[in-house]
Amino acid sequence: MFNSRPFGRNFDLRKSVARSYHGGVRKGETTRQHIIEEAAPVFNRRGFSSTSMSELMAATGLEKGGLYRHFKSKEDLALEAFDHAVRVIERSRFPNLESIESPIERVEALVTQFLNARSPIPGGCPVFNGAVEHDDGNPKLRARARETFQRWVTQLASWVEDAQKLSEFSKLHKPKDVATFIYCSLEGALIARNLLGSPEPLIAAERVLSDFLLTNRTSKKKRKTKSKPKKRSSRT
């Protein structure tokens, strides 16, 4: 049998843990999260190779030693910053999609939200940025961007497959092909918007993708006529 009071009668384990947590451990975790949140927009806007330590120091308000106290290298910080940027993007562009009962309506909502949600982090989509900048650069960041894109495609493909099983969507195309086509169209529209400084590519992508999804719907339920798309800002 273990002694139920091994540290004395007045010892309170919960208070002891709380004191420890609210001390150095919590402060360290808070500082680390602060660094990640402040570094993410810098990396996303400037890119890994172009981001200097002085820029990270300015953004976080810490000296180089303070940064390296929490991260082994600039690369480690960049990976954490990338993951944070992805989470921010997902909360903005994919909110509450799982609560939509119909799989095909879930897909339709993703298209609309992805194209209409303003980027919550400077620099645009971190997945595309990672793919472009790290084509011949940092292999770990490139791998992380690839894994994220594949995860997005896999999730979307599962919704398309569910829609096909429920006879909501045509089985003419493979679910993964549909998901890949949709995401390539969405990311391509964002690139063209940034290149041209015009929202027209987003409007065109939403119109064509919506028509594609509607044309391939096999359920009797008809989608409501959409109102004219709102004018979008040319900024990310």
Give the three-state DSSP class for 224: coil
C-beta of residue 193 within 8 angstroms of C-beta of residue 118: no
Phi, psi at 44, each rounded to 5° = -70, -35
Band of pLDDT at residue 205, cut at 50, 70 and 90:
very high
pLDDT in tens, 36-83: 999 999 999 988 888 999 999 999 999 999 899 999 999 999 999 999
* Mean pLDDT confidence for 123-132: 83
* Mean pLDDT confidence for 2-6: 40
C-beta of residue 127 within 8 angstroms of C-beta of residue 88: no
Q: Give the per-residue pLDDT at 102.
A: 95
Q: Give the per-residue pLDDT at 55.
A: 95
Phi, psi at 53, each rounded to 5° = -65, -35
pLDDT in tens, 70-117: 999 999 999 999 999 999 999 888 888 989 999 999 999 999 999 888
Burial class of residue 39, CB neighbours in 10 A (0-12, 13-18, 19+): buried
User: Comparing 223 with 150, which gets the higher pLDDT?
Assistant: 150
Give the three-state DSSP class for 117: coil
Architecture of domain 13-77: Orthogonal Bundle (1.10)
Query: Which class is domain 83-215?
Result: mainly alpha
* Closest of 4, 71, 8, 7 to residue 34, by C-alpha: 71
Whether the pLDDT of residue 154 is over 50: the answer is: yes
Domain ranges of the chain: 13-77, 83-215
Phi, psi at 126, each rounded to 5° = -65, -25
Phi, psi at 211, each rounded to 5° = -65, -40
Q: Give the per-residue pLDDT at 95.
A: 84
* Mean pLDDT confidence for 210-223: 81
* Mean pLDDT confidence for 196-221: 90
Neighbours of 67 (CB within 10 A): 19
